[in-house]
Structure 1
């Protein structure tokens, strides 16, 4: 269908021309719609992106805050844990403080670990210094032991012995401390106190030297060795039904060195020389052939004296059982 021209009603206008005009208007509307659509989509993406970023940021911030709170709580717990032990441990023995510092140097958080490591090193140095002091005290005790049993040395011996025991305890060097003053040992000898309750062997037989001086055991271990030997001697005496005479028992290191004795026997209280009336050393050894430790004779110098010790291992020397070996 055609339309007539307004200028010339006899001229017809094709219908397609009008369609083109309408299509141009539609394109403009579509462009506006698409632009608006893109804007909406962009706003949507911006919203989504903003929400995600904000969520991630919020999560990170929350995590950091929680981590800080946990860190503060951990430090608070450690501080309370440390406070519970600090006052008590600082008054304890040096060996216990060393263990305490070592524990925290391994388990403390990084910000305090270095300080504990340094403190541990200081304590170890203190340990070495205290041990050196102990060596000096022991040397002084040996010097005094060589000078005899002068009463003027009693106070000094007690002081040195007390200092020795305190250091040994502080360093954890021995399980138990022999805390017996020198004058108490004098009293044990004077009262003829038995080594083991109910026994017949006396402290005087174990710790009084040939010149009459009293030389007490220097450590708990030596005292316990003397007590164990007293129990064994009691069994032997009951077995023989004869009185045992003690020739030599405990000797301190300086005296034992001077007479040429073995440092691992009489100086530790584990060795004793005995004799029994009516027996030679060899005959006595035959009676005690089942003795599970060391035993021997000195046939050329002391034919009636038998040596017994409680050092590990069944050993024989001298002329018993035709076996020869070094002196005990």
Structure 2
């Protein structure tokens, strides 16, 4: 077995949720404000339903108000936009999260842009994207934020590190690059079309995989001693005797742990951090809406 440190996302997420609960208690005590998160779920996507239930449970456990609107799959775009408009105006709601994906009759971009940027706790609104990119505050997307917190549990100061991100999505890859630039990393965004991708990833002191391909990043793509953050979650085909296939990341874990100094597992790495950071974003949205400065909620 390698000596690579396994970065325990569950434990770190628990610490973040503990900090959130402290901030929620302080907001209630000092300002009479109880942060409220509203989740909108359209349709019957089973994975979304599980995810939303977890969000609601953890929101309430942190002392916040959790509300949910479940809408039928045939809901029109106009009706969903009308609900979002009502939530924008509701002073008890500090965070609005419309669970993606949405049914095909609804334009996801239009819905995201309809959410008030002040309540966009997913960090997907173009105004927040722009603010994060320019370093002017803004609400950062939850998964990239979680990745940075996990990386800093290994190396509290990321200054000067060479960071390579494999993946260029609007939800993870691009905002993650902005957050790492803010941490004074030297950042490369690579992707499936990058020429000689293994050569690029071997430069990374901090390697972050978010490409959506099972075990694409092999052990010999990893620089010895690197920290590896695996955002991917992919289910393999069931093997004989298995009821369902194993969950794996975008990194070949067993190979990479022989080379890396620290690595996140799948599951149990980045996944738990996403909801923890959503709660942190909701607290800071409640603070901002009430004219208070944001608080840094790391591990």
TM range (shorter): under 0.3
Which protein, 1 or 2, shows the higher relative CO under an 8 Å CA cutoff with sep ≥ 6?
A: 2
Give TM-score, length-normalised by structure 1.
0.25
Higher strand share: 2
Q: Structure 1 or 2: larger helix share?
A: 1
Larger radius of gyration: 1
Scaled by the length of structure 2, the TM-score of the pair is: 0.26
